[in-house]
Amino acid sequence: MGGRSLDEDPLTLAIAPPPDETFEQRQIREAAEAEARKISDEIDEQLRREREGDKKKKKPVKLLLLGQSESGKTATLKNFQLTYARKEWTEERAAWRNVIFLNLVRNVNVILEHLAGEMSDIPFQPNDDDENELTPALPRPARALPRLKFRDKHRMLKARLSTLAEIQQILEERLGTASTELLSASVNTAAPFGDPSTGRRALQEFSINSSNGWKSALDKFRTLRTPRNGELVNGNGEQVDQPDPDRPRKWNDSEEAIADTIASCRDDIKELWEDPIVQEVLNRRKVRLEDSPGYFIGDAERIAVKTYQPTDDDVIRARLRTLGVQEYRFIFDHGRTVGQEWRLYDVGGTRNSRGAWYSYFDDVDAIIFLAPISPFDEKLAEDRRVNRLEDSYLLWRSVCSCKLLSRTQIILFLNKCDLLQAKLQRGVRIRDSVPSFGDRKNDLPTATRYFQQHFKEIARQHSPVQRPFYVHLTSVIDTRSTAVTLGAVEESILREHLRKADLM
């Protein structure tokens, strides 16, 4: 392959000095060239600095939400979206309608099952320690309390509302695994990521990473809107499975038919919930729907109507369990960092899901750790032997002591303060479940101070490197106060994010 000598290169020839250049002309030319080079270098430097600045600004802020199941991680994530990415929030709001319908219908069915148990001749004696408050208890040998006086009204309500069992089944089928709670666990430690011998690779295999989060569950529902040649298609136009053909259908189960059926039960639901005998059944069986995830029966009158559209607060309170690790990307359209991308990682909190967390630890700017402090006297749904507060302490200790996180900012939310306050007002005594609480005053300020101190002490004792203790007392279903908390969180995370970027 032949080459061309530099002397013949047309560009070189064009910019070459004239052959008859004098000494002065050469000095002027070289000075001009040096000046041009200086200006060009300055422009390059400026561009480089701008690119650097852009990179720093554009580098996404990564935030991981941790905590046990039902601690309020997804509810916190929704608050972020509501506060900082309102357009997407508004677009998605309507899709939560079916989740809320399911939550409501499930509330009714829990009551009906307990009612049926109490109306039947099977005696029942409540027992705090090993009963799952959400499922009817097994038959017990001795009746401790006199039988309640049920009337025709109760039998009628039970019969008329029985159609909601099928509605629950259809909604659960459509929404998939996320719509049901996990009631047993194969893992019996609080933090299965804490043991380095388990190895990172093995742990990653448990991880189900999805970048469309709850959309996959909500999208399944759009199915019902667009039947095509008798096939069912979802919101993306993809064909999805037909419902179980063996299950006899009494009626058309389209989304609107479901809404119609629920609406037709509205008055009965309200009557059931307000009935004093039914309330007594729930008391005797220690069922507190108000404390459980997806509590909507108190709003049945507003929700069980054909035209129901979820409000912001309804969406925050809607319960859909998180599976695996879900990534949400938001470009903030509010706050100090308009245009900044945030990536929020929301994890499933049951003991079975925690092995998947570890692979997200090395690349996050900050962690929000949610510890609900109201369930100090409750057990984990997936393991009825484990106290929820005790589980949070163990989990917190493992997160604080994790070497990979030693330089990560961790912000603690002591959550469900509203439910704690209600519980204390009902007269539930903390010291009966937490002996070390002792004779302290059984009120909200004392209790929150006590729990806060306990978490702080764990962090102090177990962090490999001492770190600041950031804590907020929260009720994340309260969107107003949570927006204020998130403002403080945004600022603190961002300050750290920019500081790290400067060091790089």
- Is 317 an interacting residue with respect to ligand GTP (CB under 6 A)? yes
**DSSP category for residue 334:** S
Tokens representing 29 are: 């030319």
For ligand GTP, give the closer residue by CB, 98 or 340. 98
Tokens representing 260 are: 């119609």
CA nearest to 359, candidates 400, 323, 393, 324: 324
Site for ligand GTP in 247-286 (CB under 6 A): none
**Is 333 labeled as ligand-binding?**
no
Question: Which of 30-38, 131-139, 152-160, 319-327 is the region at the interface with ligand GTP (rule: CB under 6 A)?
Answer: 319-327
- Is 74 an interacting residue with respect to ligand GTP (CB under 6 A)? yes
For ligand GTP, give the closer residue by CB, 415 or 485. 415
Q: Which of 409, 415, 479, 485 binds ligand GTP (CB under 6 A)?
A: 415
d(CA 127, CA 379): 13
Name the residues that contact Mg ion, by CB under 5 A. 73-74, 322
**Is 402 labeled as ligand-binding?**
no
**DSSP category for residue 471:** E
Q: Which of 192, 349, 355, 375 binds ligand GTP (CB under 6 A)?
A: 349
Look at residue 328 and give its three-state secondary structure: strand
| Shortest Cβ 344–ligand GTP spacing (Å) | 12
| Shortest Cβ 346–ligand GTP spacing (Å) | 7
- Give the x-and-dash track for 280-299 against ligand GTP (CB under 6 A): -------------xx-----
Q: Select the binding partner of residue 300 from Mg ion, ligand GTP, none (C-beta < 5 to 8 A, by kind).
A: none
- Is 326 an interacting residue with respect to ligand GTP (CB under 6 A)? no
| Residues 448/373, Cβ–Cβ less than 8 Å | yes
Tokens representing 107 are: 């509330």
- Is 355 an interacting residue with respect to ligand GTP (CB under 6 A)? no
CA nearest to 424, candidates 387, 371, 376: 376
DSSP line for 340-408: -EEEEEEE--SGGGGGGTGGGGGG-SEEEEEEE-GGGG-B-SS-TTSBHHHHHHHHHHHHHH-GGGTTS
d(CA 345, CA 73): 10
- Is 351 an interacting residue with respect to ligand GTP (CB under 6 A)? no
**Is 291 labeled as ligand-binding?**
yes
- Is 423 an interacting residue with respect to ligand GTP (CB under 6 A)? no
**Is 418 labeled as ligand-binding?**
yes
Q: Select the binding partner of residue 70 from ligand GTP, Mg ion, none (C-beta < 5 to 8 A, by kind).
A: ligand GTP
| Shortest Cβ 483–Mg ion spacing (Å) | 20
For ligand GTP, give the closer residue by CB, 274 or 290. 290
CA nearest to 320, candidates 176, 428, 204, 437: 176
Residue 177: C-alpha distances to residues 66, 166, 168, 173, 471 (Å): 20, 17, 13, 8, 33
Residues that bind ligand GTP (rule: CB under 6 A) add up to a total of: 24
Q: Select the binding partner of residue 415 from Mg ion, ligand GTP, none (C-beta < 5 to 8 A, by kind).
A: ligand GTP
| Shortest Cβ 181–Mg ion spacing (Å) | 11
Question: Which of 12-20, 84-92, 192-200, 411-419 is the region at the interface with ligand GTP (rule: CB under 6 A)?
Answer: 411-419
For ligand GTP, give the closer residue by CB, 332 or 357. 357
| Shortest Cβ 265–ligand GTP spacing (Å) | 22
The 3-class SS string of 409-465 reads: EEEEEEECHHHHHHHHHCCCCHHHCCHHHCCCCCCHHHHHHHHHHHHHHHHHHHCCC
Helix (H) or strand (E) holding 158: helix 152-160
d(CA 102, CA 113): 16
- Is 375 an interacting residue with respect to ligand GTP (CB under 6 A)? no
DSSP line for 214-270: THHHHHHHHGGG--BTTBEE-TTS-EEPPP-TTSPPSS--SHHHHHHHHHHTHHHHH
- Is 73 an interacting residue with respect to ligand GTP (CB under 6 A)? yes
For Mg ion, give the closer residue by CB, 166 or 314. 314
Q: Select the binding partner of residue 67 from Mg ion, ligand GTP, none (C-beta < 5 to 8 A, by kind).
A: ligand GTP
Count Cβ atoms below 10 Å from residue 338 Cβ, excluding itself: 10
Q: Which of 112, 137, 476, 489 binds ligand GTP (CB under 6 A)?
A: 476
Binding residues for Mg(2+), by number, are: 322
Which chain residues interact with ligand GTP by CB under 6 A? 67, 69-75, 293-294, 316-317, 319, 321-322, 348-349, 415-416, 418-419, 475-477
